Amino acid sequence: MTRDAVIESSADVVAVRRLVRSAAIEVGLSLIDQTKIITAASELARNALVYAGRGELRVDVVENGKSRGLRLVVNDEGPGIPDIEQALTDGWTTGTGLGLGLGGSRRLVDEFDLLSKPGQGTTVTVTKWAR
């Protein structure tokens, strides 16, 4: 099962939360893990909206033998991140937030991958496994 969403407004960020919640329930994530993946999705979607003006989300159900999980891919064609290590540092932000979005999202999931190049956009892939 793959589900896609376009992120072009704050309403779309709310829709992302609903979409991920539905998929998390379907996969069998615990309530705590549902909350974690929904929060990560919301942060990543908001980052795409704020820094790139728009983005896209893909939600996939994944399996690794005996476990099922959710893989989210948030992609944008924004300005990119010049220093990924710095961007993952808590408290660092180029915006008006608290600087917890990327680092916080990384801590909420089981797998986290960030690819970004200045002028070429950003792709963040996260996975949360059912326990």
Count of domains forming the chain: 1
CATH of the domain at 63: 3.30.565.10
Q: In this predicted structure, what is the pLDDT of residue 100? A: 52
Per-residue pLDDT of the chain (131 residues; tens, 9 = 90+): 789 999 999 999 999 999 999 999 999 999 999 999 999 999 999 999 999 999 999 999 999 988 999 999 999 999 998 888 887 776 656 555 544 578 889 999 999 999 998 999 999 999 999 98
Q: Which domain holds residue 88?
A: 2-129
Q: In this predicted structure, what is the pLDDT of residue 98? A: 41
Q: Six-digit token pair at 40?
A: 């990560």
Which residues, other chains included, contact 117 with Cβ-Cβ below 8 Å and sequence gap of 6+? 80
Residue 107 DSSP symbol: H
Per the CB < 8 A criterion, the answer to whether 9 and 60 are in contact is no
